[in-house]
Structure 1
């Protein structure tokens, strides 16, 4: 067994998946890899096989099972804590997910578009009034992502950046189990206090409504609710913020595609362009973890009951048998289903909200700052190399002030 997981990236081409995935898709599409803890789950790299794994109800996302492939010590730290709903046995997961479905309906999320637009415009106003160059991540991407999810959930804005730091501790493969556990406890305690505050005085927020409908009626315990809201905050701000940065970087590095994007007015074309960015860049670049509950065959390989599986989304999204010229960003590509939001029963709960955020952010950013450019050579952009999310530490940018457009 030659491959250790995660496979090494070529940091000269940071937006691309590890180059070995192309070899594995052709030579060993379902193969064992060695994890940090010595476990040897099966790595699945081809599109059709990833689709099969994520579609099969016999392959479960249940971190309580012994064969579950924890990607890092921080991942295993969740054991012994109230688990997020998406890491629970399927029966429990379905019950808790059903408590959230109405909150994330696409038509309900679409009603948030005007407020998201105001948030984006206000953040750009503040950034444009400051000095140049500026770090797009700190001045724009992270504040926008935090405000959107805090407004939706009902999390006070004060202290949100501390919650972000705790989230990144959990999401770092460099964090020890002890460090991750301390961060988990702090986040769970914070959200438990919010649950208790909403039991005393309900608010017209997602947390307030779920607490009133599920916790106050005894359908959901307060600790389970706190874990649910913690996971929504975690997934609802980090990946969007990192995607704001990486999507901007990808467009700045491809002037031809950026010009095509700037010319787009049709909302459907903008949505399709965002979908292509999501195919091309996998912020959640590590595998979708599963455990086989029975013997199954994936890609011609027998996988025994109890064995772990790593379904690799960034490899699948660059599969040359599915996507023509897959390593090229093509905003006019006819979009196939990609795996940026997962698939099957674990398809991302907040995908409709995320798509609206990406559409508003990218269109507004390049519309209002048509001369936006990197303020450093591309090779000087520092990537976060030990996180479960792909992102940059900073994204220094600048622009020509005379070219600025005011918001409509």
Structure 2
């Protein structure tokens, strides 16, 4: 039995995963840990085992199955509500994901690039005209990410602050089950109202198209549609905003790599590779992927019995020294790109094409328009969120 999960992290090195993961990868790559509720799921820390686990259909993400590990009270609170499709059986998941494949296709997402560029430029205009220092999260990363997903879904931008605050409650491991449940209830009611309104007044938005093609034709219930849109909003803005903040921090802390990044930013292929490395190095979604074995399975020589929970630790896998030489170093020119930051297997991030375009626009534009950007406080004075599902800061003061 290893330590209680999540394992302790040295916040003086906020971009690095807990140091204990390195020892576990070498000595006990699949080991038991104790979760907040007393359960003892298996923790997977090595890349090859994580890759195999994420691609194995015998490891399910169905939240309704006994044994699935809940890494926080907020996770457990989902069981009492309509589950978004990602937290259901693989068969249910595939059916609903198929309804979104065209909506998030690379070709369709590419048509959004000019609009995303406009949103980024408008947001930076406002930031540069405002006071210094400023909070990069509140002034840039979050406004851009929320405007993009709100416009895509057809959600009123007026509601974004409230919806983001609810998302923060849901995404915090500190939130009691009651508070997380209340936040989930409010999100559920909001998106149920949105679906109802869209059924009565069609719109040419993602929500409008899904409602017209699937809800009104009886293939998707209004409740399931609301759960789908709730998850798309939640997952469609937070990870991007946090990734921009923490990725910016990584580049500011390594001026040489920032220079290398800007040198390749005009080459689409090299820029894509640089974004991949930032995703690997930061791995902003640092809470383990939850799975449960539906039958006996052997991974990395370890027998996992049917009904036993599994946590796949992506940030550890992305720092595996047997796959990524010198893994604790940011290397903009690193190849090949095998990181698991956006998942693997059938649960590979649905919105990955959108996420890449946002990052490909936001990082270069920020550093080109604000070439003297720098931290406004010492690293040790940044208030990091130490118990959230996403790696981030309460605020990141910057100046120029």
Q: TM-score range by the shorter chain?
A: over 0.9
Counterpart Cα distance in 1 of 2:261 and 2:283: 20
Counterpart Cα distance in 1 of 2:166 and 2:80: 18
Change (3 A) 1:2 1:59: closer
Aligned position for 1:60: 60
Aligned position for 1:112: 112
Aligned position for 2:327: 326
> Contact conserved, 2:2 with 2:32, CA < 8 A, in 1?
no
Aligned position for 2:165: 165
Deviation at 1:132, TM superposition (A): 1.1
1:117-153 CA-to-partner distances (Å, cap 9, x unmatched) read 0000000000001111111111111100100000000
Deviation at 1:250, TM superposition (A): 0.4
1:282 aligns with 2:283: yes
1:251-279 CA-to-partner distances (Å, cap 9, x unmatched) read 00000001111222211111110100000
Aligned position for 2:241: 241
1:45-95 CA-to-partner distances (Å, cap 9, x unmatched) read 100000110111111111100100000011000112000100001111110
Counterpart Cα distance in 2 of 1:21 and 1:120: 37
Counterpart Cα distance in 1 of 2:310 and 2:333: 33
Deviation at 1:386, TM superposition (A): 1.4
- Root mean square deviation of aligned Cα: 0.7
Counterpart Cα distance in 1 of 2:217 and 2:366: 44
Aligned position for 1:386: 387
Counterpart Cα distance in 1 of 2:12 and 2:285: 19
> Contact conserved, 1:141 with 1:245, CA < 8 A, in 2?
yes
Point out where structure 1 has 5 or more consecutive residues left out of the alignment: 400-408
Point out where structure 2 has 5 or more consecutive residues left out of the alignment: none
> Contact conserved, 2:30 with 2:43, CA < 8 A, in 1?
yes
Count of matched residue pairs:
399
Deviation at 1:8, TM superposition (A): 0.7
Deviation at 1:382, TM superposition (A): 1.1
Counterpart Cα distance in 2 of 1:154 and 1:219: 21
Q: How does 1:324-403 map to 2 (within 5 A)?
A: 324-399=325-400
Counterpart Cα distance in 2 of 1:122 and 1:116: 10
Counterpart Cα distance in 1 of 2:284 and 2:162: 21
1:18 aligns with 2:42: no
> Contact conserved, 1:372 with 1:398, CA < 8 A, in 2?
yes
Q: How does 1:12-161 map to 2 (within 5 A)?
A: 12-161=12-161
SS in 1 for 2:102: helix
SS in 2 for 1:174: coil
Counterpart Cα distance in 1 of 2:137 and 2:319: 26
SS in 1 for 2:53: helix
Aligned position for 1:404: none
1:165-188 CA-to-partner distances (Å, cap 9, x unmatched) read 001101111111110111001001
> Contact conserved, 2:195 with 2:222, CA < 8 A, in 1?
yes
Deviation at 1:378, TM superposition (A): 1.2
TM-score (norm 1): 0.97
> Contact conserved, 2:58 with 2:293, CA < 8 A, in 1?
yes
> Contact conserved, 1:276 with 1:335, CA < 8 A, in 2?
no
> Contact conserved, 1:275 with 1:335, CA < 8 A, in 2?
no
> Contact conserved, 1:116 with 1:148, CA < 8 A, in 2?
yes
Counterpart Cα distance in 1 of 2:248 and 2:255: 11
Deviation at 1:336, TM superposition (A): 2.3
Structure 1 segments of 4+ aligned residues over 4 angstroms from their partners? none
Counterpart Cα distance in 2 of 1:93 and 1:263: 41
> Contact conserved, 2:2 with 2:31, CA < 8 A, in 1?
no
Aligned position for 2:203: 203
SS in 1 for 2:79: coil
SS in 2 for 1:345: helix
Deviation at 1:335, TM superposition (A): 3.2
1:186-243 CA-to-partner distances (Å, cap 9, x unmatched) read 0010000110011001100000000011110111110110000000000001110101
Counterpart Cα distance in 2 of 1:270 and 1:392: 25
Counterpart Cα distance in 2 of 1:17 and 1:80: 32
Counterpart Cα distance in 1 of 2:175 and 2:34: 19
Counterpart Cα distance in 2 of 1:36 and 1:391: 21
Counterpart Cα distance in 1 of 2:149 and 2:83: 21
Aligned position for 1:291: 292
> Contact conserved, 2:69 with 2:291, CA < 8 A, in 1?
yes
> Contact conserved, 2:248 with 2:363, CA < 8 A, in 1?
yes
Deviation at 1:330, TM superposition (A): 0.3
